Chain A
Amino acid sequence: MNFMVQTLGTAGATMVVGLIGVMALVAVNALFLIWMERKVSAHMQLRPGPMEVGWHGAIQTIADAIKLMGKELITPEEVDRPIFWLAPIVIFLPVLLSFLVIPFSASWIIRDMNVGIVLILAFSTLAVLSILMAGWSSNNKYAVLGAIRSVAQNVAYEIPLLITVMSIILMVGSFKLTDIVAAQERLWFVLLQPVAFILYIICATAETNRAPFDIPEAESELVAGFHTEYSGMRFALFFLAEYTNMFICSAIAAVLFLGGWHGPILPGVVWFLIKVYFVIFLMMWFRWTFPRTRFDQLITFAWKILIPLAFANLLITALVLKLR
């Protein structure tokens, strides 16, 4: 009780300002990332991409967003209405909550909780539930198949992700994201834990359902996977959540491995954003370089290679820390 009162009293203003800032960031980030994805994919395939609307198509996504807002929200006859309506909202909540603890710089953080990383990991599991809600309630075989694949994949890749993150936590001795960044003032953890970094990037790509792990929405097999039946702004919410999720996964990568806001000359926030967008660029690079994996390969890879590797990494980290 006292804890609640204290929290609300002192941090209320920060929360309100932070919420407005995060809303703006989510919108701008999604618009920018969709444009970036189009440009990156285009240049990797030796074509110019969108060029007509604005400088090099810079405001193409704004035009697309306006188009999506104007579209009719179609609710098919046989759907499970309350859940069909709820799913796009539920997928967005955990994404928004994660911004609560992400440190953009030493002082740019809404609330520096001592359970920071656990909060992000705990709420990211809700995304699976909402994908399942969307797929199941749509009453469409492609949607259900996409949802089933997504759940199997997310469950499989969450385990190595958590274990990999644990090895970093073990080195710092704190769940607080600012502590983790502060510990990397001299040496980034990507140099001390290269295996963990690679494991994290693989798992993050799988968790965000991106190619080569995009079988939940494999266009050539499943139309659009779990959001086949969604249209207009509801579809846009799934898209928004996906791109914001990419931002969060990359932000955690920057915090855990790339030294967060540390860097010379430029202010911390700029360094942080440079690192985040670098990791996002890496993920886009993967998408346009690797072909989609087959489903059984994907699951086998997670259970038989990634999980043992992550455990070995954790064990070695613990041994080195103990014997040092």
Chain B
Amino acid sequence: MNFLSSLTTPQGVATIAFIMVVGATIAGALIAVLARNIFHNVLGLALSLMGVGGLFLYLNSPFVALMEILIYVGAICIAICFAIMLSEPLYLSKPPRNPLKIQGAVLGAGAVFAFLALLVKQTKWTPAPERSADWSIETLGHYLLKNYVLIFELVSLLLLVAMLGAIVLARGGRGSS
């Protein structure tokens, strides 16, 4: 009974919300990796990214959370769906999983995971209330267009190059066929 009544306090509801968000992130990630139907993979990815958006909301950054949904779920996942529509139809039998590829993927993902885990462990985290900096939309805008403008522009350049590359590849494909 005590446990139940603690769940209805604001603190308890916040904890439940946190567990739900983390659960959605992990479950979505698992679907994105393990499902054999490529369309289910994309939906899993979308669920996982929604969960990440929820984590940002939990950290009191609603703007970043909504941008996560707008860009990753709204743009990236839809772009992936476009790619799926151009790929081979789903009713064809799927080739079996290649063990060599699985090992490679595990190695690559494991390396990234180990690096990030090390980073998380090494960093000295200060609790959110003790950090004085405000993360309002104005502050974020100032950072993007003042302190980090070079990085911001370089990232856009990268996207532009990727886009041009995609156009070149698509053009070549159509011409040769």
Contact = CB atoms under 8 A, between A and B. Distances in A.
B62 A115 contact: yes
Interface string B63-97: 10011011001110110011001000000000000
Contacts of A151: 78, 81-82
A118 B85 contact: no
Interface string B107-122: 0000000000000000
A83 interface: yes
Given A126-B73, A129-B46, A129-B78, A4 B58 contact: yes
What is the size category of the interface that chain A forms with chain B?
A: 20 to 34
Contacts, number: 76
Contact of B66 (A118, A132, A148): A118
A34 interface: no
A2 B67 contact: no
A54 to B, nearest CB: 41
B63 A128 contact: no
B14 A132 contact: no
Interface string B2-37: 000000001101100100000000000000000001
Given A115-B63, A118-B66, A8 B10 contact: yes
Which DSSP category, helix, strand, loop or mixed, fits chain B's interface? helix
A179 to B, nearest CB: 12
A175 B75 CA distance: 21
B73 A129 contact: yes
Nearest to A83: B43
A239 interface: no
Interface string B34-65: 00010110010010000000000010101100
A175 B67 CA distance: 13
B67 A122 contact: yes
Interface of B: 10-11, 13-14, 17, 37, 39-40, 43, 46, 58, 60, 62-63, 66-67, 69-70, 73-75, 77-78, 81-82, 85, 128-129, 137
24 contacts: A1-B14, A1-B58, A2-B128, A6-B10, A8-B13, A8-B14, A9-B10, A80-B37, A80-B39, A114-B62, A115-B66, A119-B66, A122-B69, A122-B74, A123-B69, A125-B73, A125-B75, A125-B78, A126-B74, A129-B77, A132-B81, A151-B78, A151-B81, A155-B78
Question: Top 6 closest A-B pairs, CB basis?
Answer: A125-B74, A3-B60, A4-B14, A122-B70, A122-B66, A5-B10
